[in-house]
Chains A and B, each alone.
Chain A
């Protein structure tokens, strides 16, 4: 009796699942809505960044009335929880069940590497507005992926060059989060900085779940001229505060990767952030009319100032829409859509002019920014502008690609 009953339950459950899953799968006929799938972390530790990504995407789609080339745009958002395995499952759901035409989003580098083979296997046109790991468009590019964001070391080469030419810092200590994003930021800086005559005298790597930086800060060599920091989100917030506490800032000013002072955390910082100099392909304080306008509408929609993540997804959404326009709305022709995505050029994005290189990474302006207090609020004031920077900077791409990817060990720290 009991076994029978359990068996009946099992069969019912299975049938139920089969019905609920196997439902209508008819492909969307041409002329139906164009479906864009967005992967973003809406829960978990990265939820605030995911919200910025979502807001940026929606803002642009709303501006064009959620319509392009006579077809409606439907945005389908899936929560990745900031977890790569989940992101992969959700990507499959978007492609397979929702029949999206373009896949976009993603936050963590590992998600990028995991999506690469997926995009190629599914032949689904995919864009990465945020994921920045160098090799995604360098040594391990994917045919079906176009990066509309940036490569991690892209701002760091020109930044190191700027530091050599415009400051007296010659001996620099780096302190960075211990994962690919940190390694590539430090690696890019180190290469150009040392070629320009500077020296990295110490590299400190901090675990991603650090909350007390004291044991790391106490190790910083006292004879260094400056400290280069790479932190993200709440780590940036705590790092700044605890760095200030050590009383070093006067003698060893802070340099950094862009996220260290990104607008996603800058409003929560205090005077401790003042004077930090960082580099990125965006600053919310850019004075261009395009950015001023974007800043205003974003603030009105989201109730907070735009971060680089917001701009990345705003411009990322526009990128997709422009490509769809270029193929006349015929998104069913995936090869044509991919080709169009690889040809997009913008002169008036909030971050500045953008074009794409042959590896699928943007060529764009890099800004050196300094944290200042303007009108009572902290901002990343742009103090230097380098136009049309490629992910290879001034290096020859072929020779560049023969060198290893920047890691913890590469380039080696000769002066440590």
Chain B
């Protein structure tokens, strides 16, 4: 535990120390990566720790982003209001969808979450009076927190995002190592065994689903502030799938893995596209290559090497 905290502190502090020496473009990429990391870690709670592959995770991300954009731009609401509303909207959406989805397992769960994700996308795309449809909502100003630094500048906003990501990392870490988190892993390994041990499996999965949605919403809210712009792209299927890739690439069920996966994907996309127009081809190959050659992800592979005998949990 303490070693993990130490490791986390080293990484976060390292980022914090490097940041002032970076030009603003790589800094904004790091901000993107941090937000994606929160998003990917939230999915990891569901996918890696509970064993539920969600194909509609962008829904909660998007609902929160839209909540921020609509409240901030149309109603001029402040940061606290926007954040609370965004988290509530994401959690409520997840609570509603969870009722429909949790009953299913495996592929059916995948399909149902895909379908529910499309409901949200459909609303973002067609409920034009609310969401402005395909135009998207632009002009979300960065929050004024009463701090001496202007968050409109990349560096302060980077520190803000870094703090948020660190907080999310810590909270999720506490969650997955709590007794609740342990029972989630138990459910992942054998649902029937947990059932016979007297656990309320449905409730555990449902709570994991809602919490995961909540954190995805946190990432979505930050995303709205980062871009200043929200559009149906943020809730589309490809956004959900990309989060899955981040988790798989880094290593599911490790938290730090998905964060690393997010970092790699964000930088890969932005660097490869500088050198070649054919970056989609390369991204597609990455998807396939990860599955074929690193099915346990980077962190998963590193840990497997260090501990050759699988202990039933990663």
Contacts and interface: CB of A to CB of B under 8 A. Distances in A.
* A contacts B directly (C-beta below 8 A): yes
Contacts of A138: none
Interface stretch (A10-18, A149-157, A188-196, A305-313): A10-18
Interface stretch (B15-23, B74-82, B196-204): B15-23
Contact of B260 (A10, A43, A114): A10
Given A18-B18, A88-B229, A5 B23 contact: no
Interface string B1-35: 00110010011001100100111111011001000
A183 to B, nearest CB: 9
Main secondary structure of the interface of B (DSSP, over half): helix
B273 A84 contact: no
B32 A11 contact: no
A9 interface: yes
B295 interface: no
Contact of B138 (A6, A43, A113): A113
A110 B136 contact: yes
B119 interface: no
A229 B105 CA distance: 47
A85 B28 contact: no
Contacts of B267: 17
Interface residues of A, number: 44
A79 B277 contact: yes
Given A109-B135, A179-B135, A22 B273 contact: no
Given A43-B280, A114-B138, A11 B128 contact: no
B166 interface: no
Q: How large is the interface on B (under 10, 10 to 19, 20 to 34, 35 or more residues)?
A: 35 or more
Contact of A42 (B14, B277, B307): B277
Contacts of A207: 125-126, 133
B313 interface: no
Contacts of B228: 114, 117
A123 interface: no
B24 A3 contact: no
Nearest to A7: B7
B19 to A, nearest CB: 10
A96 interface: yes
A113 B24 contact: no
A408 interface: yes
Interface in A93-140: 93, 95-97, 109-110, 113-114, 117, 121
Contacts, number: 122
Contacts of A85: 227, 229, 231, 233-234
A180 interface: yes
B277 to A, nearest CB: 5
B138 A96 contact: no
Interface stretch (B54-62, B95-103, B209-217, B298-306): B298-306
Contacts of B192: none
Nearest to A47: B277
A18 B277 CA distance: 25
A1 interface: yes
A20 to B, nearest CB: 8
Nearest to B276: A79
A43 B279 contact: yes
A345 interface: no
A295 to B, nearest CB: 26
A96 B23 contact: yes
A12 to B, nearest CB: 11
A180 B227 contact: no
B94 interface: no
A372 interface: no
A88 B25 contact: no
A238 interface: no
A25 interface: yes
A35 B21 CA distance: 24
Nearest to A43: B280
A121 B29 CA distance: 18
A178 interface: yes
A121 B23 contact: no
B289 interface: no
A208 interface: yes
13 contacts: A9-B298, A13-B263, A18-B21, A22-B23, A25-B23, A78-B274, A84-B231, A89-B29, A96-B23, A96-B25, A97-B25, A180-B135, A208-B125
Given A42-B277, A89-B270, 8 more contacts: A6-B302, A14-B15, A25-B23, A88-B229, A92-B25, A93-B25, A178-B128, A209-B125
Interface of A: 1-3, 5-7, 9-11, 13-14, 17-18, 21-22, 25, 42-43, 78-79, 83-85, 88-89, 92-93, 95-97, 109-110, 113-114, 117, 121, 178-180, 205, 207-209, 408
The 8 lowest CB-CB distance pairs between A and B, nearest first, are A2-B306, A21-B26, A96-B25, A113-B138, A179-B134, A110-B136, A97-B25, A114-B229
